[in-house]
Homo-oligomer: A and B are copies of this chain.
Amino acid sequence: MVTIYDVAKRCGVSASTVSKAINDYPAIPEETKARIKKAMAEMKYVPNLQAKSLSRGKSKNIGILVYLEHEVSPFTHPLFGQILDAFSKKVSQQGYNLLFVTHYVEGKREPGLLKCIMSRNVEGVVILGEMDNENVLEIINSPIKCVGFDYYGTKMPGICTDGYAALKQVTEELLKRGHRNIAFITGKANKITDQRIKGFQDALFEYKVPFDRSNLLEGEYFNQDKAIEITACLLERKNRPTAIIYPDDYTAIAAMGFIRSKGLSIPRDISVFGFDGLEMANYVTPMLSTVVQDTKALGEELSKALIEEMSSSEKHGHVVTLPGKLRISDSIAAIK
């Protein structure tokens, strides 16, 4: 491997001069810089970023932490993937690299996530997925700079889609179509979920439809089995709901298959709403009505927030809310 010393020797200068030429210090005349740069190119010199990172104290590494207790894995999560895609484009323009924090031991995630992150010297971490797990909390509460997708607290910046407005609109669309018995299967209880529930309730309130507690059921984001299980209960009810809102498209799609398998038709017997706007929601029949999250904007906001956070001396906590966009398709219909 050719080092800065090799280049220095070849040019008849010292390593410090080469370093200064690389980093464009004004003390080095253009002529010398050109000579050194020529030599670097000829020798195919590539700087060792680990060494640079060590001496500069900056790693230019960003950690990605996707923490999911459920089966959907970091690399196959359709929503997170889209967000990360936008995120990575933004931060790599600033010279950052993405390090996936996937610390499995024997197929299971090991506890020492914080240690793992600290030893990699990442300058910041994006957190997606569960955030009330103690392993993740340890990181959020540490001095490491982070941002969270769908985080709604004060320990770090959080970026999310406006779940209140979205669920209000979703519910209104159903109410508008005559539905009065609407079930809402939520994700796991947290502040994001609470916002959605509030939107759901407010829409009912505005339409003067009494809120039926039993129509609010706690599921789990991206947990298809759970969604199906709850749906099964709903279908067996005497007063079966005429519409079901799911926590995300992924569970909604699974549930649609289940509902159909029970001999019911969507949307004739049951209207279905999802959330996220996944691509696959367009492939199912009937096409799933959903709330499209602006994943590009979300990813970009995450990068903006993290870069800001990393260049600041202390940690902040503020929530950025982006609007979702209703996409009405054939999975909902007016009640007969």
Q: Which residues of A contact B (CB under 8 A)?
A: 46-51, 53-54, 59, 73-76, 78, 80-82, 84-85, 88-89, 92-93, 97-100, 102-107, 115, 118-121, 253, 257, 280, 283-285
Minimal beta-carbon separation of A160 from chain B (angstroms)? 19
Q: Which residue of B lies closest to A53 (CB)?
A: B50
Out of B49, B54, B103, which one reaches A92, CB within 8 Å?
A: B103
Contact in complex: B284, A49 (CB < 8 Å): no
Contact in complex: A98, B102 (CB < 8 Å): yes
For the complex, give the distance between the alpha carbons of A115 and B47 in Å. Answer: 9
Q: Which residues of B contact A285 (CB under 8 A)?
A: 284-285
Q: Which residues of B contact A49 (CB under 8 A)?
A: 119-121
For the complex of A and B, 6 pairs with smallest distance between CB atoms: A285-B285, A76-B81, A75-B81, A73-B85, A46-B118, A75-B84
Q: Which residues of B contact A105 (CB under 8 A)?
A: 93
Contact in complex: A92, B97 (CB < 8 Å): no
* Chain B CB within 10 Å, residue with most, of A78, A106, A119, A121: A119
Q: Which residues of B contact A47 (CB under 8 A)?
A: 119
